[in-house]
Amino acid sequence: MFKRVLMIMVVLTLPVAAVADDSPLAIVAHVLSLSDEQVQALGEFLQARQEALRPAVQEVQAREQALAQQLQSAEPDPQAIGQLVIEIKRIQEQIQRAVAESDAALDEILTPDQRARLEQIRGAAPVCGILPAFKAAGLV
């Protein structure tokens, strides 16, 4: 499994160096081999999803700030802290469900091959967090 993930990561990083525009959308378009129409549709999709999720994200941020204030106060209120943690978790779950539901719209934008490549990238994503440590150690 690790060998497969590593191979995917190596393959995916090679073409990125050839992208003149290093914006996230340009890199995604290059790696997934999107047509101009697909790039336009994906850009619109991502913008609409971001706008739809913005209120929930702002709610999480406000509750996280309130939680931080509670934790830094001289006498934190355990009940308030617990309530804030529960609310943050509930809103984050709503965001995750909304993202998962909106991903169904990608079927309208991507071809089956592009969707398969995206799933490979998603599968490799958890391992990507360790790459900076390997780079810093001079192993990658």
Domain borders along the chain are 1-34+111-140, 51-109
Query: What pLDDT is recorded for position 14?
Result: 47
Give the residues of the chain that fall short of pLDDT 70.
Answer: 1-21
CA-CA-CA-CA torsion sign (100, 101, 102, 103): positive
C-alpha count within 13 angstroms, C-beta hemisphere, residue 45: 18
Query: What pLDDT is recorded for position 113?
Result: 95
Query: What pLDDT is recorded for position 9?
Result: 52
Query: What pLDDT is recorded for position 6?
Result: 47
Query: What pLDDT is recorded for position 19?
Result: 53
> What pLDDT, in 10s, does the model give residues 59-69?
999 999 999 99
Q: Per residue, what are the HEC states of 33-71?
A: CCCHHHHHHHHHHHHHHHHHHHHHHHHHHHHHHHHHHHH
Q: d(Cα 102, Cα 68) in Å, to the nearest integer?
A: 31
CB 101 within 8 A of CB 45: no
Query: What pLDDT is recorded for position 137?
Result: 80
